[in-house]
Structure 1
Amino acid sequence: MKNLVVLGGGESGVGTAILGKQKGFNVFVSDKGAIADKYKKVLLHHNIDFEENQHTESKIFAADLVMKSPGIPDKVALIQELVSKQIKVVSEIEFTSEYTNATIVGITGSNGKTTTTMLVHYVLRKAGLDVGVGGNIGDSFAKQVAEKSFENYVLELSSFQLDGIENFNSHIAIITNITPDHLDRYEYNFDKYIDSKFRIVKNQTENDFLIYDADDEAIQNWLSNNKIKSKLVPFSMEKELEYGAFLRGDKIIMKLKTEDILMNVSELTLQGKHNTKNAMAASLAARLLKTRKETIAESLSDFEGVEHRLENVQKINGVQYINDSKATNVNAAFYALECMDNPTVWIVGGVDKGNDYSDLMPLVREKVKAIVCLGLDNQKIIDTFGSVVDVLVETAGAEEAVKVAHKISKKGDTVLLSPACASFDLFDSYEDRGNKFKQAVKNL
């Protein structure tokens, strides 16, 4: 019996443990921190051996195979030592892909991947396909393959998950865009981060497809310097294409075997330039999987959106409160500010991943009337925007931030939580941050 060691007792770790046990491995889960009660219950239910708040090296080095959770960097000593002992270390998606023949749509990118993943899943489900959704959202890919085994999967894939693949392949790969993010994991080298995203095409053949943003400079540069086997399916908002999806006036055109008018941009439930791009990417994926264009258009016009992504919370005294807690980098905050039509009180801040806020300057000058900082260290925000906005206030919690925003906003304004940073200084996660913001708005 082979030994499978799972590092990390979160969603992907526990899913892998369940699948590993089902496939006949002797499984041991080890987490350096505490394991959440809901996951402990699952491990106990499946009689899976685990430890928390420590790594017992003798047990870990007895592994034939190690699955490490995406949150553990490659450069930590334990991983380096496993590699030097020639013990294979893989990611959850790599481990799981051995056990399914399903058609996979894999979606990566710095921003828009959750929305695009949910959109593709929604369209395919409406078209009657047997389809699961996973990766960074919902149940882990591993758990689904163990318990449900769909014919198709739509997976949201972070660069960390792609770093750990050898043979994993997406029949349809989507790269939404690439902007500097998580550079702390890539030695502050943007090229390494770009290469990491493009691992999604590593195992593609000429029967597979890559859907990508043809307006994105980083993607275009990489493609012009590297040969790939799969068929290129671009989308653009700036130019008409020979093949792919583009805008003609305010209509979305899809040109694959034939040229079709898909729908008018105004009919999309999700507004904003970036959402038009997400819709194009999702449409192309669905069309390549033989979905009727009527079904695609109908789905895009009644899709509800993603929690914590430009989510309308409530209107109070004529002020609209918007929760965009999922904006954990500058580019995501850029999209949010770009969508604002009213004078905006912007709640920003948290753990900075090497952010350069200068890209936001024109939007802040044009749209932001006041800034409310929500983080422990706000110096960079203050240095960048202090002289640009009339009011800048520091706060140390969602409730305080909302109360201050409420005070300085007036009828016709928008209060936007779009932090451009990770949440771990004051919150458990971006979801926790978004939920506390929503609760604070309801308490006003």
Structure 2
Amino acid sequence: MKAAVIGLGVEGKKAVNSLLNHGWEVYATDLNINVDLSGLNLPNLSLDVIDETQTVSIVGDGITLDLGFTNPYDIDQCDAVAISPSMFGGEFATKLLKNSNLLSDVVDKHKDIFTIGITGTNGKTTTVHMLKEILENAGKNVLVGGNGGGGFSGYYDLILEANEGEYDILLVEVCDMTLDFCKYCFDFDMIGLTNIGNDHMNVHKTIANYKNSLVRFFEGKTVFTAFNQDFNTDFKESSDKNIPYFEYQDELKLFGKFNLLNAGLATAIARELKIPKDVIKSTLSEFNAVEGRLDVYKINNVSVYVGKTDNSDALTSILSEKDFYAIFIGTPRHNEIHRLDILDAAVRYNPEVIVLFPGLDDTLDMAVYRLNSLGYMGNIITVNSLDEIIELVAEYSHEDAILIGGNGQDTLINIQERIKLISENL
């Protein structure tokens, strides 16, 4: 079998790796000759420079990769096409799919498995892992995956894995930017919404547009939304069945009311699936924070809170519950200026110190300018390395609490690992 992968963003690269791992031959293409190929598993490559300034072909075992152009003939020879989820619904993708089959239509065993989607702005990954552990402790064979940003191997990997194993339940983390794509690719039986927040506004443009995308996504499904969720009336009209959930009331190791809501969502879905209450309660009482998500460590006198908080709503939900002497913020990519509004949230809570470090990109100058324009009067510090961050944590280790968050999941995981190691050895 041979597949064409169109676009080599996060999901495209994950699709290439997954297809190769599952024994497919791959034709991959991206119109950008300078696309970042890191993360691709491309052994035994040979490079064929067709035109030094415009196009490049790379040939390896089972793969041909064209940069700067697309070869229609190679696409026509493929059994399936994997497009970037962000392309779905666009003119190019629609035209392409008229003559080709999307991978989810060619490999479609996943559509016969009971499928649960978890979407929303914040809390998706934590909720998915909570629900996964509950279901597995109840004896279910669960396949988990989806949104590459959640640390999974992408939607196409999930589809390919489901085709090869025997599973009771498919559990999909659905990014809010890929709702239409996922509605087409998966046959959801239940959908849980964590929340609607201020993120990816470069795509949604407005909260109303985001809400309308969810209304389409929920159509005819069993949907779980928080009891106080905005637009619940719209969601009830769209869904076949709308089930409200509330903050979890039993023991939970995780910090924050937002995690009580995540646990409440996982609990509501589990109960609808007739999972015994004792299994739910015992699972959640032992549940630990997912790697890269908010966790708390003790170093000397200070409680160090570390985890991804890459939008203003995520950061505000933490700052509204705890005062922090210092807030460390990982900066966003150059093309994600909208995410600098996390600094607005930080300034509103007026910590003594704001420390800036490169999260996804080195946009420190932009972040400093933003803080100055907001009139922040505290101490602004910029750092460029993990060692510098650890030095400042040690300096503040006799304060009450500090928060390390912002953008850059991989960077934050590295920080988390070092902080945990120090904490365990004190």
TM-score normalised according to structure 2 size: 0.77
2:310 to 284, 309, 328: 328
Instruction: Sort the Cα spacing of 1:396 and 1:55 in 2 relative to 1 into closer, same or farther, 3 A.
Output: same
Q: Write out aligned runs for 1:209-358 (5 A).
A: 209-217=222-230, 219-220=231-232, 222-223=234-235, 227-237=237-247, 252=248, 264-265=249-250, 267-312=251-296, 314-324=297-307, 326-340=308-322, 343-351=324-332, 352-355=336-339, 356-357=341-342
**Matched residues in 2 for 1:433 and 1:42: separation?**
33
Determine if the alignment matches structure 1 residue 378 to structure 2 residue 367: yes
Q: Amino acid of the residue matched to residue 396 of structure 1?
A: N
Is the CA contact (8 Å cut-off) linking 1:107 and 1:157 kept in structure 2?
yes
The equivalent of 1:181 in structure 2 is 199
| Residue among 172, 187, 196 paired with 1:169 | 187
- Contact 1:6 / 1:68 at 8 angstroms: preserved in 2? yes
Quote the residue 1:15 is aligned against: 18
**Structure 1 residue 319: Cα displacement:** 2.3
Residues 42/274 of structure 1: CA separation in 2 closer, same or farther (3 Å cut): farther
User: Partners in 2 of 1:82 and 1:291 — Cα distance?
Assistant: 41
1:274-317 per-position Cα deviation (integer Å, ceiling 9, x unaligned): 111111100111111121011001111011121111123x4333
Pairwise CA distance, 1:98: 5.4
Cα 1:441–1:297 change in 2 (3 A) is closer
CA contact (8 A) 1:64 1:88 kept: no
User: Structure 1 stretch 170-179 or stretch 93-102: which is displaced more?
Assistant: 93-102
Aligned residues with identical type, % of pairs: 22
Say if 1:98 and 1:442 are closer, same or farther in 2 by CA, change over 3 A.
Answer: closer
SS in 1 for 2:238: coil
Using the TM superposition, give the Cα deviation of residue 336 of structure 1 relative to its aligned residue in structure 2, in angstroms.
2.6
Contact between 1:346 and 1:372, CA under 8 Å: does it hold in 2?
Answer: yes
Alignment of 1:193 onto 2:213 = no
In the alignment, what sits opposite 2:418? 439
* CA displacement at 1:52 relative to structure 2: 5.7
Equivalent position of 1:69 in the other structure:
84
Aligned residue type for 1:138: F
Matched, 1:126 2:126: no
Query: Which consecutive residues of structure 2, in runs of 5 or more, have no partner in the other structure?
Result: 46-59
Work out whether 1:113 is the aligned partner of 2:104: no
**Distance apart, 1:180 and its partner CA:** 2.0
The answer as to whether partners of 1:386 and 1:392 remain within 8 angstroms in 2 is no
What secondary structure does 1:87 align onto?
A: helix
- Counterpart of 1:414 in structure 2 is 401
Greater shift after overlay, 58-67 or 149-158? 58-67
Q: CA 1:435/1:39 → structure 2, altered by over 3 Å: closer, same or farther? A: same
Q: Which runs of 5+ in 1 are unaligned?
A: 238-251, 253-263, 424-429
2:176 aligns with 159
Letter in 1 for 2:345: L
- The C-alpha deviation readout for 1:22-54, integer Å capped at 9, x for no partner, is xxxx752335535456633599xx964331644
Change beyond 3 A, Cα 1:13–1:222: farther
Identify if the C-alpha distance between structure 1 residues 90 and 297 changes in structure 2 by more than 3 Å, giving closer, same or farther. farther
Q: Equivalents in 1 of 2:285, 2:128: separation in Å?
A: 16
Q: Name which of structure 1's ranges 121-130 and 46-55 shifts more when overlaid on structure 2.
A: 46-55
The amino acid of 1:439's aligned partner reads R
Q: How many Å apart are 1:91 and its aligned residue? A: 7.5
Distance 1:131 1:145 in 2: 10
Shift of 1:411: 1.3
For 2:48, the equivalent position in structure 1 comes to none
Contact 1:372 1:395 in 2 (8 A): yes
Number of residue pairs the alignment of both structures matches:
385
TM-score (norm 1): 0.74
Partner-residue secondary structure (3-state), 1:119: helix
2:51 aligns with: none
* Cα contact 1:4–1:20 (8 A) shared by 2: no
The whole-number CA distance in structure 2 between the counterparts of 1:73 and 1:329 is 23
Pick closer, same or farther for the CA change 1:230–1:384 going to 2, 3 Å.
farther
Q: Secondary structure at the match of 1:56?
A: coil
Match of residue 387, structure 2, among 395, 399, 409 = 399
Q: CA deviation at 1:125?
A: 0.3
How far apart, in 2, do the equivalents of 1:297 and 1:174 lie? Answer: 19
Secondary structure of the 2:64 match is strand
Q: Relative to 1, partners in 2 of residues 1:41 and 1:301: Cα closer, same or farther, differing over 3 Å? A: farther
Q: Give the CA RMSD over aligned residues.
A: 3.6
Q: Which amino acid aligns with 2:84?
A: S
* Helix, strand or coil at the partner of 2:326: strand
Partners of 2:270 and 2:279 in 1: CA distance: 9
In the superposition, relative to structure 1, how do residues 42 and 161 fare at CA in structure 2: closer, same or farther (>3 Å)? farther
SS in 2 for 1:298: helix
